[in-house]
Structure 1
Amino acid sequence: MASSRDRQRKLARAKLDRQLARRAAATRRRRQIQAGVGATLVLALVVLGAAWGLGAFDREPKRDTAQETCLWTPQDATANTNLKDVGTPATTGLPTSGTRPMTITTNQGGPVTAELDLAGAPCAAASIAHLAGRSFYDNTTCHEITSEGALRCGDPSGTGLGGPTYSFYSENVPTAPEASPSASPAPGQPPAYPKGTVAMIGNPPGANGSQFLIFFKDFNPPQPAYPAVGRITGGLDVIEKIGALPTVENGAGEKVKPKTDVVIQKLTVGEPNEAAPAPTSPASGAPSASPSAG
């Protein structure tokens, strides 16, 4: 009998030892899991803190203007024979502050001088400078005097369909003006495109190439669509004189083509100027205020 009780005690002891071992193992696993979760949480907090500090959660991403990049979208010259291939501008290392002088000589007088806005429209300025350096604009006609009070130029084909074999996105489009109860811009509000503004015009809108507008009247649309790229600094009276020319139909039923040919004999762009532009005097034939970006 004693031997049977000893065996039972040994069996019970062994069973208890196994239970204790399982509990100890479970405890170790639970602690390991807790330690792993804790380490993961600490790492996640470190990563989130670093991301927060770098501005990952800012409402608007921070832009490094020193590394400004322009994207040039290829256009098919076989599908549109009005396009002219003169290569593409650089994509990086472009100036993004100050201004760049532009000079236009026409058969109607001049010169007409302008400042391109490198801060507001660096890609448009880079494109115009690239094209000008390849004589793209030379001996081209300004094919339209628009109903909006602007001279439209920059298409070597003179059709409104021409340009380079690339396009680029819109920059510096003015914000919509505050509307009055009549749904028109509020009285006394500065126009989106003051007289003397230079703006790109794309075909279709937003796909900008080489064509540009020079406004000889204030223009304040309910929904601005043209990217403002600069302003006239001298010779605005020449543009106003051109704007007063009679117009004829352009072949598409629109009476917008100047009856007298308006030819850009030469268009050049100078080196970037980091200094702020000096105020211009209305007496010089230039606007007294630069285009507003909204």
Structure 2
Amino acid sequence: MKILLAVALMAVLGGGTAQASPESDVTRGPCGYEVTPDEPAARPVPLPPDPRHTPDHGYPEVLLATNLGPVPLVLDRAQAPCTVQSFLHLVRKKFYDDTTCHRMTAYPTLKVLQCGDPSNTGEGGPGYKYKDELPTDLAPVPNDPTGLRRIYPRGTLAMANAGPATNGSQFFLVTSDSVLRPNYTVFGRISPAGLATLDKIAAGGIAPNPDSQVDGRPALTTDIGRAKRTG
């Protein structure tokens, strides 16, 4: 699955068994996680649970233990309940363990690290997709003639996607205030300790590649050894 992160930039990324209908392969709860037969899972994982009431209160904590330092995350159920439910499911199923963050951008207005694809290609996902839970409180870009772009602040945790309602497993970590249309679900924030790790990765720059000096793999290879819930 090729994940689109930025308009007019490059392609980006993207308990028990779920209650899925054999006919539709869509869970019956309000999140409606849907199997993507044309885009099979990069690593086998069942559909997330989809209870009638999606938990929408609380701030679960997840630690991404990387080879370059810890990246603690604080999720926000109220902001994006279906996204948090899916992310915790993938953490619980070890989907993110032993994976590599495959993309970093260093555009003047877009600075993010993208992770969440076990295939390490930018094309992989969990074999399912689900709806958007788009932010409504992001600050507009001053003097933007379109009036459409918003500021994703430093420390934002958001989902990458390939268009409307195509969320999967790939996510991005905003290392500096970035400008995007509000088309990407925000579901948490990065702790100060995580930002310190990300600053080190960003300082290493982009690995040399023939296509771009501001978009590619991080020069400092960033491996997630384990993702685990800590709170």
Q: What is the TM-score when the length of structure 1 is the normalising length?
A: 0.60
Give the match for residue 42 of structure 2.
83
Structure 1 Cα separation of the partners of residues 226 and 177 of structure 2: 26
Aligned pair 1:166/2:124, yes or no? no
Residue 85 (structure 2) pairs with residue 126 (structure 1): yes
CA contact (8 A) 1:142 1:262 kept: yes
Which amino acid in 2 is paired with 1:231?
Answer: R
Matched AA of 1:233: S
Which amino acid letter does the alignment assign opposite residue 162 of structure 1?
G
CA contact (8 A) 2:114 2:173 kept: yes
Structure 2 CA distance for partners of 1:176 and 1:117, relative to 1, 3 Å: closer
2:191 alignment partner, SS class: strand
Matches within 5 A, 1:78-157: 79-80=38-39, 83-92=42-51, 93-110=53-70, 112-146=71-105, 147=107, 148-157=110-119
Where does residue 231 of structure 1 map in the other structure?
189
Structure with higher Rg: it is 1
Structure 2 CA distance for aligned equivalents of residues 144 and 243 of structure 1: 11
Whole-Å separation in 2 of the counterparts to 1:256 and 1:74: 29
Matched-pair contact (CA < 8 Å) for 1:175–1:224: no
Structure with bigger RCO (C-alpha 8 Å, 6+ apart): 2
Cα separation, 2, equivalents of 1:232 and 1:265: 18
Deviation at 1:243, TM superposition (A): 1.5
SS across alignment from 1:125: helix
The runs of 5 or more residues in structure 2 that have no matched partner are 1-28
Q: Is the alpha carbon distance of 1:172 and 1:99 closer, same or farther for their aligned partners in structure 2, counting shifts above 3 Å?
A: farther
**Structure with higher helix content:** 1
- Per residue, is there more strand in 1 or in 2? 2
Give CA deviations for 1:74-119 in whole Å, capped at 9, x if unaligned: 111xx44563330011111431112111111100112x21111100
Find out whether 1:257 has 2:217 as its counterpart: yes
Return structure 1 stretches of 4+ with deviation > 6 angstroms: none
What are the equivalent positions in structure 2 for 1:192-271 lying under 5 Å apart? 192-221=151-180, 223-235=181-193, 236-248=195-207, 253-254=211-212, 255-270=215-230
Q: Residue 41 of structure 2 contacts residue 127 of structure 2 at CA under 8 Å; is this kept in 1?
A: no
TM-score normalized by structure 2? Answer: 0.75
Q: CA RMSD in A?
A: 2.5
Superposition deviation, residue 127 in structure 1: 0.6
Q: Do the aligned residues in 1 keep the contact of 2:48 with 2:85 (CA within 8 Å)?
A: yes
Opposite residue 34 of structure 2, the aligned amino acid is: T
1:178 CA drift (Å) = 4.3
Deviates more, 1:89-98 or 1:242-251: 242-251
